[in-house]
């Protein structure tokens, strides 16, 4: 129903579960996949004991398809978005289920009386008040009676679909209201003490000036501090919790890009040449373009010579209608033929105003009837600007009385453009476009100039079956040798003068392989493969791909043998630090600087700083400077060992600690909603089966 579509559009529901619709196209594969406990029942996952069932999932999918399609005429799915959408859908299910449990346990509910107040009373919900259908057309203000009449009408309609749409929207609003109550509970619990306020003010305003000497680790010879095997093992054992790992895999892969041959290019040119005669004589050029062009969104507009979209078309400007040019190379891998289809004297630009009734607000027939009524009001003397401001769904122009200003040919969609450039000054016309139905008035024209319309057919140079087979043979040979011989992947790459690519730490839910958009199929192979496996030949983005599973990691701890280099570096830095600390014990900064052929530097910092000028990001150093033991103790920093000595401390007293308190409370409130949900999620039991399906 159009009105409900408008309500949904304005509700923000799309933001909550944006893009769920795309999953409809892949749910079919899921339906034949995961089965639980030998039962025929299928589940996507389980969240705190609640199963995510396919029918519930499908209902969401269907709902979002309707919304996405109505809002975007070019709505489509591609592999790159699928992984993102799956995550968004799953996260929304998690949020809904977990928050519903919170609402129930905390007694957060909405009474009938409160709902009526939020629907039509003085405390109307903002989402309701923004719906034009519920606003007084004369004042633009919310009218509760209109909202009630609409709901009563919907609930009495025979259409089950309309009622279900309203019920779905109502449930969405109730969820918003409950969430607002929950957020208010969290927000009201945020409290900052006097002590916290005082400390925060001091951290920002208390500055310390200090001298320091920096001894880079690189100034000490690595060979003198090389760690032993025992030291490395001891460090790993002591810090093993720092080396947790999730299940992941590494691959090497090679891409055989299928490049069209010179013969393929010549065949494209010959194909376009074969169309030239028919193209020059065929009057229904748009049909011919649709049948033969590889570009589906062609727009054929009238243009002056200097505004032609293709510079080659200037050759047609003074030719006879029906003249053709081409084939010529338009873009890399794309050839074009073009035809002069019309020549006219048309305004260079026009000034117009309009009133739009969107598709979501009314059906086409209803909108035309409504705009004809507005047209009669205008002809009876009502100001067009007032009518636009009160009725137009194009809010950007409505506040300017519907004024669109001056615009050149091709700036608007075709139907709108044609009305504006063919109507007389002052004339009113109604036209339907992809956005809805418009009442248009041309306010003024500029001078008329010569313009031409050019139609064109574009053909991409694509690989023939023979060319494709040539590259497929190369890929088969590579994969075959890798599987049947002892030659390593790297050696085979070098022998065949190919380029090795790789992707590391691939997790099961990853949407694509790095460097290969739309390659979820390869991720699915990786999920099932074992170390040393060679893949089938994948066809990805006009290329052929062969993969080799290089490494596989189970969930747990990273093995020591893969961390030797990393831990060696850490232990070496510790040994250098211990050496320096012992070497310069009880020495002043000048002696330490002289011994290291450097100088004493000065700097200033406060506790809330992220970094120190001349030193960089060193939170450990800032902590030591503001600690109790301030002097003559070396600090183990990221790239160097630093000695420091405090020179002076200054404190700026905060006059208004209340302002500081408000700032701290607001900062806490800003993160409270997110952090509270994350805490709930972290403590919940969630089973996710998506990677077994997609």
CA distance 400 to 392: 11
Q: Give residue 15's pLDDT.
A: 32
**Is 44 exposed, middle or buried, given 0-12, 13-18 or 19+ CB atoms closer than 10 A?**
buried
Query: For 452-478, what is the mean pLDDT?
Result: 96
Whole-number Å distance between alpha carbons of 57 and 27: 9
Same domain, 62 and 7: yes
Q: 61: pLDDT confidence band, cut at 50, 70 and 90? A: low
Quote the CA–CA distance of 336 and 330 in Å, as a whole number: 6
CATH code where residue 403 lies: 3.10.50.40
Residues whose CB is less than 8 angstroms from the CB of residue 427 and which lie 6 or more positions away in sequence, other chains included: 441, 442
Q: What angle do CA 81, 84, 88 make, to 5 degrees?
A: 130
- Assigned domain for 668 exists: no
Stretch among 97-106, 141-150, 476-485 having the lowest mean pLDDT: 141-150
Tell which of 346, 365, 393 closes a domain.
346
Q: Per mean pLDDT, which range of 52-56, 83-87, 287-291, 559-563 is the poorest?
A: 83-87
What's the total number of domains in the chain? 5
* pTM strictly above 0.85: no
User: How far apart (Å, rounded) are the C-alpha atoms in residues 403 and 110?
Assistant: 44
User: For residue 223, is it within any domain?
Assistant: yes
Question: Would residue 525 count as lying in a domain?
Answer: yes
CA–CA gap between residue 313 and residue 437 (Å, rounded): 34
Q: For residue 693, tell me if it sits in a domain.
A: no
Same domain, 22 and 148: yes
What are the tokens at 302? 């009238």
Distance of CA 208 to CAs 289, 488, 652, 653, Å?
Answer: 74, 60, 12, 15
Question: Tens digits of per-residue pLDDT, 472-495?
Answer: 999 999 999 999 999 999 999 999
**61 occurs within a structural domain:** yes
Cβ–Cβ under 8 Å, residues 10 and 133:
no
- Alpha helix positions (H), 107-228: 112-120, 126-129, 144-156, 160-188, 194-205
> Would you state the structure tokens that stand for residue 571, as one six-digit string?
């232990």
Within-domain flag for 458: no
Measure the CA angle with vertex 67, ends 690 and 154; round to 5°.
Answer: 120
575-586: per-residue pLDDT in tens? 999 999 999 988
Residue 693, Cα to own-chain centre: how many angstroms? 23
Task: Looking at the structure, tell me whether residues 310 and 438 fall in a common domain.
Answer: no
Region 251-259 average pLDDT: 97
Q: In the numeric block, which tokens belong to residue 122?
A: 């003085």
pLDDT above 90 covers a percentage of the chain that reads: 59
78 and 173 share one domain: yes
**What's the confidence (pLDDT) of residue 602?**
94
Place of tokens 């590494």: 250
The Cα–Cα gap between 671 and 680 comes to 14
Residues 27 and 172 in one domain: yes
What is the rounded distance in angstroms from the CA atom of residue 583 to the CA atom of residue 560? 32
Query: Do 365 and 338 reside in the same domain of the chain?
Result: no
Please tell me whether residues 544 and 585 are part of one structural domain: no
Instruction: State CA 415 to chain mean position distance.
Output: 32
Let me know if residue 428 belongs to a domain.
yes
pLDDT in tens, 389-427: 989 999 899 999 999 999 999 899 999 999 999 999 999
**Looking at the domain assignment, is residue 512 inside a domain?**
yes
Range of the domain at 423: 349-446
Contacts 24+ apart (CB under 8 A), 312-321: 312/336, 312/338, 313/338, 313/452, 313/454, 316/340, 316/452, 316/454, 317/450, 317/452
């Amino acid at each position: 129903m159009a009105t409900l579509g408008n309500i949904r559009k304005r509700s923000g529901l799309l933001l909550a579960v944006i893009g769920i619709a795309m999953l409809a196209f892949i749910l079919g594969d899921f339906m034949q996949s995961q089965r639980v406990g030998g039962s025929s029942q299928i589940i996507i996952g389980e969240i705190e004991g609640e199963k995510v069932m396919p029918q519930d999932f499908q209902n969401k999918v269907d709902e979002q398809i309707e919304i996405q399609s109505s809002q975007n005429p070019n709505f489509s799915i591609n592999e790159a978005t699928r992984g993102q959408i799956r995550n968004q859908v799953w996260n929304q299910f998690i949020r809904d289920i977990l928050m519903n449990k919170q609402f129930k346990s905390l007694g957060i509910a909405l009474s009938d009386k409160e709902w009526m107040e939020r629907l039509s009373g003085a405390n109307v919900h903002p989402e309701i008040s923004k719906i034009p259908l519920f606003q007084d057309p004369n004042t633009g203000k919310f009218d509760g009676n209109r909202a009630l009449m609409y709901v009563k009408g919907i609930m009495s309609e025979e259409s089950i679909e309309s009622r279900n749409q309203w019920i779905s929207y109502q449930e969405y609003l109730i969820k918003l209201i409950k969430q607002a109550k929950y957020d208010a509970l969290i927000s009201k619990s945020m409290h900052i003490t006097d002590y916290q306020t005082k400390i925060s003010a001091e951290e920002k305003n208390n500055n310390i000036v200090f001298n320091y000497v920096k001894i880079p680790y690189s100034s000490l010879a690595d060979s003198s501090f090389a760690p032993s095997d025992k030291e490395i093992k001891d460090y790993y054992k002591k810090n093993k919790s720092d080396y947790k790992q999730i299940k992941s895999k590494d691959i090497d892969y090679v891409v055989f890009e299928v490049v069209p041959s010179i013969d393929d290019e010549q065949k494209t040119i010959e194909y376009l040449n074969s169309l030239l005669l028919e193209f020059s004589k065929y009057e229904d050029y748009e049909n011919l373009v649709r049948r033969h062009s590889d570009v589906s969104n062609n727009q054929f507009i009238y243009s002056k010579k200097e505004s032609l979209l293709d510079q080659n078309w200037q050759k047609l400007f003074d030719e006879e209608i029906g003249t053709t040019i081409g084939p010529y190379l338009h873009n890399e891998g794309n050839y074009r033929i073009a035809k002069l289809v019309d020549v006219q004297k048309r305004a260079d630009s026009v000034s117009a105003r309009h009133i739009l009734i969107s598709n979501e607000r009314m059906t086409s027939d209803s909108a035309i009837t409504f705009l004809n009524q507005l047209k009669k009001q205008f002809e009876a003397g009502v100001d067009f600007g007032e009518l636009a401001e009160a009725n137009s769904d194009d809010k950007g122009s409505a506040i300017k009385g519907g004024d669109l200003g001056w615009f050149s040919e091709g700036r608007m969609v075709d139907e709108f453009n044609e009305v504006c450039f063919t109507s007389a000054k002052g004339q009113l016309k109604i036209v339907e476009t992809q956005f809805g139905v418009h009442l248009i008035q041309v306010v003024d024209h500029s001078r008329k100039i010569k313009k031409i319309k050019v139609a064109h057919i574009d053909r991409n140079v694509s690989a023939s079956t023979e060319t494709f087979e040539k590259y497929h043979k190369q890929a088969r040979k590579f994969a075959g040798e890798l599987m049947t011989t002892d030659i390593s992947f790297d050696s085979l790459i070098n022998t065949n003068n190919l380029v090795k690519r790789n992707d590391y730490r691939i997790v099961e839910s990853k949407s694509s392989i790095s460097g290969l958009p739309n390659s979820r199929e390869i991720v699915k192979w990786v999920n099932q493969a074992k170390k040393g496996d060679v893949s089938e030949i994948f066809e990805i983005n006009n290329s052929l791909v062969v993969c080799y599973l290089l490494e596989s990691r189970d969930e747990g701890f990273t093995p020591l043998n893969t961390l030797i280099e990393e831990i060696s570096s850490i232990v070496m830095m510790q040994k250098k630090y211990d050496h320096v600390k012992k070497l310069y014990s009880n020495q002043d900064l000048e002696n330490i600087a002289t011994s290291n052929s450097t100088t004493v530097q000065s700097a200033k910092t406060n506790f809330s700083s992220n970094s120190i000028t001349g030193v960089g990001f060193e939170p450990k150093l800032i902590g030591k400077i503001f600690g109790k033991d301030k002097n003559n103790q070396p600090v183990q920093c990221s790239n160097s060992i630093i000695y420091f000595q405090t020179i002076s401390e200054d404190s700026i007293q905060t006059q208004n600690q209340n302002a500081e308190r408000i700032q701290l409370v607001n900062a806490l409130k800003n993160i409270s909603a997110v952090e509270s949900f994350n805490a709930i999620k972290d403590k919940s039991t969630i089973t996710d089966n998506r990677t077994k399906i997609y």
